[in-house]
Structure 1
Amino acid sequence: MTQKILIVDDEPNILTLMEQALESLEDEGVELITARNGEEALEIIKTEKPNLVFLDVMMPKMNGLQVCHIVKHDLQMADVYIVILTAKGQEFDKQKGIEVGADLYLTKPFRPKEVLEKSIQVLGF
């Protein structure tokens, strides 16, 4: 079964950076999918059921915390591993991320190597 990673960010340069960080996983058969806002992300999560989601917090239409809450609580998709990406590193924000069900919290700017290592760990390579 193909493993899938969804990258959600409204900043094109962040999407590109994330794709570049993870493109080596495509050789392992991992499919990389991108979305530019929360609504789009939610639709993709429902239809594609990605194994791993990198989710930006500050986005148009629906923010990452709302998406995470819907996926984890309303849709009961506990097996989708969600990493919240945010420029906000305050403890309060981390607490909010944990409350909505995020599995991990990464603060921007992140290191591409860190993103890749985490992905390998989550997907079990």
Structure 2
Amino acid sequence: MKKIFIASQEEKFKILLSQTLNYSKNNNMELIMPENQEEFQYIIKREVPDIVFIDVRLNSNLHIELMELLEKDETLEHCYKILFTEKFNYSKERELWQSIVDFCIYMPFDPEYIIQKTSTLFNI
């Protein structure tokens, strides 16, 4: 079973993304959506997901900490990292993101595109 980790504090974002992924009718995937951001790093190490969706709107630069963890931890290096960001976000962090994440998706996102990208990554 393929594991998808969703790192976001935004409940509506998590609901929309989970509904989008469930719509793909891929029964071979498990969605992991921790409620508490303090648990993100612990759970991501324990679960070792295949895809990690990271919401740039996480508090206190947690998105950067997660990306760095995914880059440095050998057990997580296979994870495909997708960052959800806003089109107008042109900060210094963007350079860091581009060197760590595999792909950026700008919000608001197209649900069909998420389904297509996930299906491609899972070879279905």
TM-score over 0.5 for the pair = yes
Gaps of 5+ in 1: none
What's the TM-score once normalised by structure 2's chain length?
Answer: 0.85
Matches within 5 A, 1:1-125: 2-25=1-24, 27-36=26-35, 38-60=37-59, 62-73=61-72, 75-76=73-74, 77-92=76-91, 93-99=93-99, 101-125=100-124
Gaps of 5+ in 2: none
Deviation, 1:98, is 1.7
Deviations 1:34-75 (A, max 9, x none): 1245532222210111100101122135521221111212x1
- Give the stretch that moved more between structures: 11-20 or 64-73: 64-73
What is the distance in 1 between the residues matched to 2:89 and 2:123? 30
Superposition CA RMSD, Å: 2.0
Task: Give the alignment's TM-score, normalised by structure 1.
Answer: 0.84
> Percent of aligned pairs with the same residue?
25
